[in-house]
Amino acid sequence: MRIADVLRHKGSMVVTVPPWTTVGELVTELARHNVGAIVVLTPNGVEGIVSERDVVRGLAARGAELLTSPVAEIMTTSVVTCSPTDTVESLSVLMTERRIRHVPVMSEGRLSGIVSIGDVVKQRISQLQDDQDQLERYIAQG
């Protein structure tokens, strides 16, 4: 199964903000879209990604004043990405090894989606269920 298949099922909508968005505005967007991470995007492309965990760590270190700071101050700038042709299995390994929960999908240099660890787990469970169903049909025919 490829990442393109995951995006076909979940959709390719990605919530993005520019780097000068305040952390307070980011929190509002996270809640409004019910997502755990938002891609930081400029006309030049993906500049970073910022997650709920980044916000919590920033609040613990700096307090409420963080909410008026730009997301550029807390975002992860070395963004791990994948492509639509990557396999769900390889992305699962990457996300587990690198402890990454959200991976933007890039196609021909452009942001084309985002995949979460939940999306990957859901797809893996679906594949396992399909495999089990096939085995049960094979045994029943035998």
Tens-digit pLDDT profile for residues 5-37: 999 989 999 999 999 999 999 999 999 999 999
Cα–Cα distance between 108 and 49 in angstroms, integer? 19
**Cα angle value 69/31/113 (rounded, 5°):** 90
pTM above 0.75, yes or no: yes
Domains of the chain: 3-141 (3.10.580.10)
Whether 142 has a pLDDT exceeding 80, the answer reads: no
Tell me, what's the pLDDT at 125? 82
